[in-house]
Amino acid sequence: MTLDEITQKILQQIDEKGFRQSGAFNLRHNGTSLCHGDSEHVKIRKKEDKPGIDVYIDGDAKGEQIHIPVVVDASGMTDIVYNDFYIAEGADVTIVAGCGIHNSGCNESRHDGIHSFHVADGANVRYEEKHYGEGEGSGARVLNPVTNIYMQENAVFTLDTAQIKGVDSTERETNISLGKGSKLYVVEKLMTHDEQTAVSNMEVRLDGEGSSAQIVSRSVAKGNSKQVFHPKAVGNAGCHAHVQCDSIIMGHAQVSSIPEINANHLDAAIVHEAAIGRINDEQLIKLRTMGMTEEEAENVIIDNFLN
């Protein structure tokens, strides 16, 4: 299937690995599945009771990529989708998602993606999700993702999320439970500008003995934008967790960072740290002496900070 120019442009922004119509994939466009395909070890099925898909990944899937992007380019549309992923014991996969909104009208365009991952014993999953907004219209671009992750024994899950630019409002809800010996790695990257707002709530429950979690959030707030981060780690067994929130604040922006840790077991070891500050003047001066403008120097610092 030939994709239009807007869809191709958005896919380039939200899928760095390169979306292609081969293997296991599903492209959702303005609330419908535009095209999809299965592979030998991954089957994608349309839900019967509500909008969305069920993705079944068997234990023989090794090093496979699954691409499930969403594109919304209809102004005034609200798209709600429920996607469930069933990852079998021993599977090793990368799931590349993300949503891009192109709004050229005056009405709000919105996508709410509710993704649930059921990760069996010993499975290894990497989930990459990027959000992006564009368009010359005055209508808002809104993205409200919900991510639920259920990890069984000795499972490994890497959650890599990024909001690139152009999203006027986002409310992120993330809920994760870890079984015995499971390991979680979270990297959240976010940039806001102008009057944009972003709220991220995350609760990680370490329920299994020997489970561990590393949660890193990095953000840049420009203009008059507002950000609120509330990551919460709850130790319900002997476990280890580290929560880190770092933010750069610019202009008249506002950032609230509220890391929370709770221990409900004698052997739960949980640490948190948070830092909010402006761009280092010495770094700016050093880059300026190399011939960069102030804006160019700031962009270099921001790119390195987020990546």
Which tens digit of pLDDT belongs to each residue from 145-176? 999 999 999 999 999 999 988 999 999 999 99
* Residue 46, strand partner residues: 53
* Residue 275, strand partner residues: 246
Q: Is residue 57 part of a domain?
A: yes
Instruction: Render pLDDT for 218-245 as a digit per residue (tens, 0 to 9).
Output: 999 999 999 999 999 999 999 999 999 9
pLDDT-based confidence at residue 40 (cuts at 50, 70, 90): very high
Q: Is residue 300 part of a domain?
A: no
Domain that includes residue 154, residue range:
5-279
Q: Is residue 284 part of a domain?
A: no
Residue 262 near residue 232, CB atoms below 8 Å: yes
User: What is the C-alpha to C-alpha distance for residues 73 and 24, in angstroms, rounded to an integer?
Assistant: 24
Domain count, the chain: 1
By the 10 Å C-beta count (0-12 exposed, 13-18 middle, 19+ buried), 56 is classed as middle
What is this structure's pTM? 0.94
**pLDDT value for 280:** 85
pLDDT-based confidence at residue 282 (cuts at 50, 70, 90): confident
Structure tokens at 270: 């949980």
Pairing of strands 24-29, 146-151: unpaired
Q: Is residue 288 part of a domain?
A: no
Instruction: Render pLDDT for 99-141 as a digit per residue (tens, 0 to 9).
Output: 999 999 999 999 999 999 999 999 999 999 999 999 999 999 9
Q: Is residue 37 part of a domain?
A: yes
Pairing of strands 62-67, 32-37: unpaired
User: Of 227, 167, 170, 178, which Cα lies nearest the Cα of 203?
Assistant: 178
**pLDDT value for 283:** 87
